[in-house]
A and B are shown apart, each in its own frame.
Chain A
Amino acid sequence: MDRRKIEENIFKTLMLFSTFVVVGSLAFILATIFLKGFRALNLDMLIKTPKGGYYLGKEGGILNAILGSLILGVGATFLALLVSLPVVFYLNLYLKKNSRFALTLRFFLDVLGGIPSIVYGAFGFTFMVFFGLKASLLAGIITVALLIIPIMTRSMDEVLKMIPFELREASYALGANRLETSIKIIFRQALPGIVTAVLISFGRGLGDAASVLFTAGFTDYLPYSLFKPVATLPLAIFFQLGTPFPEVQSRGYASALILTAIILLISVLARFLSRRFTKHGI
């Protein structure tokens, strides 16, 4: 075999290996939580709240954390969307492509996106103390929203950047203004990407433990007030895995399985919905 062919083969093998690492680690993670958690998984976990002694191995479930995480995640995603959508449309339709302000804004968002979530947690905590809030659903929602705004904005930004410039020109050429073009053309065309961005952010918010540790607190009760602490799945997993009892630890894995399943389900649903929305996409 000649030299060039050997090189080609070596690199192809390396690429295949890396691909295998990616696919393999996903499969490995899923298999681990499934195998370790499957036996502990039962209906009670999904429909009951922790009874006294739950963390010692007594009966109960994690409905408090499932509901808490969903409510907190939806709230934070919604709040983040209210900020991200205007920013992203301003960035792409009102500012010119290479405007200094746009470049600065993107840089800020990237920096914000790189800040570890524990820092957001600490910031959220300071913020709470300043406003006299206690650890609560509201404080959790605000903190997680801050955490996911950069992720959401930047991923939507990438989507909007991909939309052909001519589509905008076509709308403007018909006498549409920027707002009409944003809402009727760009939003519609970008919808699948926007939905994906929202879900990535939702998943990120749902899975983050550090930001809710101080801000949302934890409770064995179901969420019932914006101003009371709320349980979340990542912390439920953390507390259960942290006990010395194997039985409770496998409940922790079962909780991880539930969290993963929720995120998976939402992704599939989103794909399906966004495909239906965009039957006229170009």
Chain B
Amino acid sequence: MGSKTHISVKNLSIWYGRHQALNNISIDIPDKKITAIIGPSGCGKTTLLKSFNRLIDLQDGVSVGGRVLVDGEDIYAPEIEVTRLRKKMGLLFQRPQVLPMSIYDNVAYGPRIHGIKDKKKLDGIVERYLKESSLWTEVKSRLHSSASKLSIGQQQRLCLARGLAIEPEAILGDEPTSALDPVSAERIEQRLLDIKNQYTIVLVTHILRQARRLADYIVFLYLGNLIEHGPAEKIFNDPQDTRTQAYINGRFS
């Protein structure tokens, strides 16, 4: 692809207790492209995604083998500060999870934690990222009302703004449109396309058409194994593995 690698996964295996969720995965996620992780339910898509910002650490009985390099740095090395790693990644969930505070404070939460106290600066950040997630015009008159009062589509765009406000290098999306109505989903997709030359985007999706619309690069997982990966047009037009062919042609989902 000629693009440089941002996140490099090397022989990654992840277990939850005795259950092995990922088996010896090695892939390079290209910088400033959209990579879609596809595959049937329970294949380890979310586990792989959450291994990039070490959110899997929170799970019970998780153990990790192999390495994940972000900017060439092994993020599972003991000297890594996990809060600094997570600041590099904005995360969008399946269901938008707004924080129990105002719209303004939701966006300002990350920057405040990372040391920005100046009111003017925060105002600027909030405005900029609400604009970048195309929510600004809808909420500018009620920035201090509760974020939970927004519609679910607006909440997801707020989560995008909140993720962008920590000025990450990468955006991770865990089926970020699956709980949204079609119009809201399309707006999120559009935003992701608009910002993809600034951020590395990794999307978990079970919607093949979404992967087709957005992704430059595809990773196909099946039962914890990496089956095939490569540029989107190649995977969609000329899949090598029979399981990839079957999945892409909709023989299972």
A, B from the same assembly:
yes
Interface residues of A (CB under 8 A from B): 96-99, 164-177, 180, 184-185, 188-189, 278-282
Chain B residues, CB < 8 A from A97: 60
Pairwise interchain contact A171-B53, C-beta atoms closer than 8 A:
no
Write the chain B residue with the least CB distance to A184.
B109
B83: contacting residue among A96, A166, A175, A279, CB under 8 A = A175
Pairwise interchain contact B146-A172, C-beta atoms closer than 8 A:
no
Chain B residues, CB < 8 A from A189: 100
Pairwise interchain contact A282-B98, C-beta atoms closer than 8 A:
yes
Pairwise interchain contact B58-A175, C-beta atoms closer than 8 A:
no
19 contacts across the A-B interface (CB closer than 8 A): A96-B59, A96-B61, A98-B61, A169-B55, A170-B93, A170-B159, A172-B55, A173-B90, A173-B91, A173-B163, A174-B90, A174-B163, A175-B83, A175-B113, A188-B101, A278-B100, A280-B148, A282-B99, A282-B100
Smallest beta-carbon distance B73→chain A, Å: 16
Interface residue? B102 (CB, 8 A): yes
A175: contacting residue among B59, B60, B97, B110, CB under 8 A = B110
Smallest beta-carbon distance B159→chain A, Å: 8
Interface residue? B86 (CB, 8 A): yes
Pairwise interchain contact A174-B97, C-beta atoms closer than 8 A:
no
Among all A-B residue pairs, the 4 with the closest Cβ atoms: A175-B87, A173-B91, A174-B110, A170-B97
Smallest beta-carbon distance B115→chain A, Å: 11
Chain A residues, CB < 8 A from B61: 96, 98
Pairwise interchain contact B162-A185, C-beta atoms closer than 8 A:
no
The complex places the Cα of A87 from the Cα of B109 at a distance, in Å, of 26
Write the chain A residue with the least CB distance to B147.
A280
Within 8 A of A (CB), among B74-100: 83-84, 86-87, 89-91, 93, 95, 97-100
Interface residue? B166 (CB, 8 A): yes
Within 8 A of A (CB), among B145-175: 146-148, 159, 162-163, 166
The complex places the Cα of A128 from the Cα of B105 at a distance, in Å, of 49
A280: contacting residue among B53, B60, B89, B146, CB under 8 A = B146
The complex places the Cα of A279 from the Cα of B95 at a distance, in Å, of 21
A174: contacting residue among B84, B93, B166, CB under 8 A = B166
Chain A residues, CB < 8 A from B121: none
- Please tell me the size bucket of the interface on B: 20 to 34
Interface residue? B114 (CB, 8 A): yes
The complex places the Cα of A176 from the Cα of B97 at a distance, in Å, of 15
Given A98-B60, A174-B162: A185 and B99 interface contact (C-beta under 8 Å) = yes
Chain A residues, CB < 8 A from B89: 173
Write the chain B residue with the least CB distance to A177.
B83
Pairwise interchain contact A172-B58, C-beta atoms closer than 8 A:
yes
Smallest beta-carbon distance A158→chain B, Å: 18
Write the chain A residue with the least CB distance to B111.
A174
Smallest beta-carbon distance A202→chain B, Å: 25
Write the chain B residue with the least CB distance to A93.
B58
B58: contacting residue among A168, A176, A177, A184, CB under 8 A = A168
The complex places the Cα of A171 from the Cα of B163 at a distance, in Å, of 10
Write the chain A residue with the least CB distance to B50.
A169
Write the chain A residue with the least CB distance to B93.
A166
Interface string of B222-245 (1 = CB under 8 A from A): 000000000000000000000000
Write the chain A residue with the least CB distance to B83.
A175
Chain A residues, CB < 8 A from B86: 172-175
Write the chain A residue with the least CB distance to B110.
A174
Pairwise interchain contact A169-B97, C-beta atoms closer than 8 A:
yes
Taking A173-B53, A188-B101 as given, write out 20 further A-B residue pairs in contact, using a Cβ cutoff of 8 Å, ordered by the A residue number.
A96-B58, A98-B60, A165-B58, A167-B99, A168-B58, A169-B58, A169-B93, A170-B159, A171-B109, A175-B110, A175-B114, A176-B109, A177-B83, A180-B113, A278-B100, A279-B146, A280-B100, A280-B147, A281-B100, A282-B100
The complex places the Cα of A176 from the Cα of B115 at a distance, in Å, of 11
Interface string of B100-137 (1 = CB under 8 A from A): 11100100011001100000000000000000000000
The complex places the Cα of A279 from the Cα of B99 at a distance, in Å, of 12
Chain B residues, CB < 8 A from A172: 55, 58, 86
Pairwise interchain contact A167-B109, C-beta atoms closer than 8 A:
no
The complex places the Cα of A169 from the Cα of B94 at a distance, in Å, of 12
The complex places the Cα of A111 from the Cα of B9 at a distance, in Å, of 48
Chain B residues, CB < 8 A from A175: 83-84, 86-87, 110, 113-114, 166
